[in-house]
Structure 1
Amino acid sequence: MDIAALPAIMNAASLKDANETAPEATRRDEEIRAKAKEFEAVFIAEMLSHAGLDKAVSENSGHGGEAFSRMLVEAYAEQLADKGGFGLADQIYRQLKGQSS
């Protein structure tokens, strides 16, 4: 890649963003927010698992109980993330939104 061509490429990218229609921008914004929330849910699920919640739920219940407890932890994590979680999704969203502008 020619370094001299870099400013032209960057200008073309910013013009593309400027010409983006409102529905496309809204769709991309919603997609960024959803992915940030999804990441926070996965993060919370891992924290709950490492804290021992999955083992506490599946104590003496065999393989079925282990699978159920993992699903339960994931459901709890999704609900926590939907309710605002730790604010991690908001921070990730703001960071990604700033980079996409």
Structure 2
Amino acid sequence: MNPVLPVSPRPPFQPAPVSADDKLREAAKELEATFLSEMLKSAGLGELSETFGGGPGEEQFASFLRLEQARAMVEAGGIGLAETLFEAMKERADGAV
């Protein structure tokens, strides 16, 4: 009979450390995405079509689609708002320290 050998436990997952600048940049990107999402909504993106519309389901999920499209726009360079926000937040954070 073969004895069962104990398995040594793996160390817990340690995510890579995130710097304060990375956190500020992500917050700035999310703010730009939210702004762009509202602009897309105002422009009429995601409005129900008169014919062949998706019904109530389409209406319920249109905001999620707009937000993801806005996030994709930000990742592709956006309108530069995230960088301006990042610099302002960094300046304020550096002044507070």
Q: Could you say whether these structures have the same fold, taking a TM-score greater than 0.5 normalized by the shorter chain as the test?
A: yes
Cα distance between partner residues in 2 of 1:78 and 1:84:
10
Deviation per CA, 1:11-40: give whole Å up to 9, x if none.
xxxxxxxxxxxxx8x611100000000000
- What displacement does 1:68 show? 2.9
Aligned-residue Cα RMSD (Å) equals 1.5
The one of 85, 88, 93 equivalent to 1:95 is: 88
Deviation for aligned residue 1:93? 0.3
TM-score (normalizing by structure 2): 0.71
Query: Which structure has more helix as a fraction of its residues?
Result: 1
Question: What corresponds to 1:63 in structure 2?
Answer: 56
Match of 2:24 in 1: 32
Larger radius of gyration: 2
Name the amino acid aligned to 2:67.
Answer: E
Question: How many residues get paired?
Answer: 75
From 50, 55, 66, the equivalent of 2:42 is 50
Q: Secondary structure at the match of 1:78?
A: helix
Q: Deviations over 1:56-88 (max 9, x none)?
A: xx3232210112322221111000011111000
Distance in 2 (CA, whole Å) between partners of 1:91 and 1:80 is 16
Within a 5 Å distance, the mapping from 1:13-28 to structure 2 comes to 27-28=19-20
Structure with higher RCO (Cα < 8 A, 6+ apart): 2
Structure 1 distance, partners of 2:63, 2:46, is: 6
1:15 match: none
> Which whole-Å CA distance do the structure 2 matches of 1:40 and 1:72 have between them?
16
TM-score (norm 1): 0.68
